Amino acid sequence: MERRKVIIDCDPGIDDALALLLAIKSEELEVVGITVCSGNVPVRMGAKNALKVLALCGKTDIPVYVGEEVPLVRELVTAQDTHGEDGLGERFYEVLEESKILEGGVQYIVETLRSQDKVSIIALGPLTNIAKALMEDREAFAYLDEFISMGGAYRIHGNCSPVAEFNYWVDPHAADYVYQHLPRPVHMIGLDVTRKIVLTPNLIEFINRLDAELATFITEITRFYIDFHWEQEGIIGCVINDPLAVAYFMDRSLCQGFESYVEVVTEGIAMGQSIVDSVDFYKKPNNAIINVDVDAKQFMSLFLKKLFVGYENLIDSIIGGL
């Protein structure tokens, strides 16, 4: 099987960590590098968290690059109330091999696009690094294969305002720049689909029945996140946004959507809103694929089977009972 090369740009972050686990454990993907931006946590903390996930999987050979520290225009606002002061549920795991963290995330993106063919980017945080890379060397993106962005909201309320989703709200200027300048459609994995992906206590209980090394880590980092979801959204469980972007990259049938023109609002009360021109008011060329439906059971089955190999039948029975 041809493994698809990906750069994962992220802001780890609890759901970013779960997405990294999925990508690392999926034989269809070759994670050629991880670039980090500020978002859920400041960028250097995020880079350490990415390294912690790699160390857990024995994959610290995958390079981790520090990217942009602040958004293009706005002041940085993090989400440590959601992900914990350390970005991983306040477990404050020790960082091993910190010296492996590299500088120059933006330069790494453009150099990798130019030097390796058919590289895709899966962006799980604010789009600051991607926008900066486009500004620096737009021609490099002619070599880009596909671009997936977890971000935005179409017909569902935001999580930072009535209309804005966190990644695009943190750096709306970067988000809009990417939608206007990327020479590829943005596959938007927004809250319309990710809110349907809930890791429940039942599923966590099930994971802990599998004598797998990841169970403890997943249980530990999601505890804080589940508490936040109860307090803020009144749900039992936690929405794991980012893993869906990785799963969708591997299996397009997970989601259904449509092509449209998208603009991201950069100022004012609607700052960070992804304006989806689904009825073509602006008569502008489509620049995105908006995903609006997802088979949540199919996702959860893929997610669990990639992380916990050898438990396929058990996973099928649990998912069947959802």
Instruction: Please choose which of ligand RIB, Ca ion, none residue 86 contacts, taking the beta carbon within 5 to 8 angstroms, the exact cut-off set by kind.
Output: none
124 or 133: whose CB is closer to Ca ion? 124
Cα(282)–Cα(284) distance, rounded to whole angstroms?
5
Binds ligand RIB by CB under 6 A, chosen from 16, 68, 86, 192: 16
Binds ligand RIB by CB under 6 A, chosen from 46, 125, 237, 243: 125
Note whether 13 binds Ca ion by CB under 5 A: yes
Note whether 11 binds ligand RIB by CB under 6 A: yes
Binding string, residues 214-253; x marks residues near Ca ion by CB under 5 A: ----------------------------x-----------
Cα(123)–Cα(140) distance, rounded to whole angstroms?
17
Token pair of 232, please? Answer: 């803020």
Q: Does residue 208 contact residue 218 with C-beta atoms inside 8 Å? A: no
20 or 54: whose CB is closer to ligand RIB? 20
User: Candidates 158-166, 205-213, 226-234, 260-268 — which segment interacts with ligand RIB by CB under 6 A?
Assistant: 158-166
User: Candidates 100-108, 116-124, 218-226, 283-291 — which segment interacts with Ca ion by CB under 5 A?
Assistant: 116-124
Determine how β-strand 186-189 pairs with β-strand 29-36: unpaired
Which 199-228 residues touch ligand RIB, going by CB under 6 A?
A: none
Note whether 126 binds Ca ion by CB under 5 A: no
Q: Does residue 78 contact residue 38 with C-beta atoms inside 8 Å? A: yes
Binds ligand RIB by CB under 6 A, chosen from 7, 64, 124, 203: 124
Token pair of 14, please? Answer: 């609890």
Q: How far apart are the first and last CA of the chain?
A: 32
Note whether 34 binds Ca ion by CB under 5 A: no
Q: How many residues bind ligand RIB (CB under 6 A)?
A: 15
24 or 318: whose CB is closer to ligand RIB? 24
Instruction: Please choose which of ligand RIB, Ca ion, none residue 159 contacts, taking the beta carbon within 5 to 8 angstroms, the exact cut-off set by kind.
Output: ligand RIB
Binding string, residues 33-62; x marks residues near ligand RIB by CB under 6 A: ------xx----------------------
Q: List residues near Ca ion by CB under 5 A.
A: 11, 13, 16, 124-125, 242
Q: List residues near ligand RIB by CB under 6 A.
A: 11, 13, 15-16, 39-40, 124-125, 150, 159, 165-167, 241-242
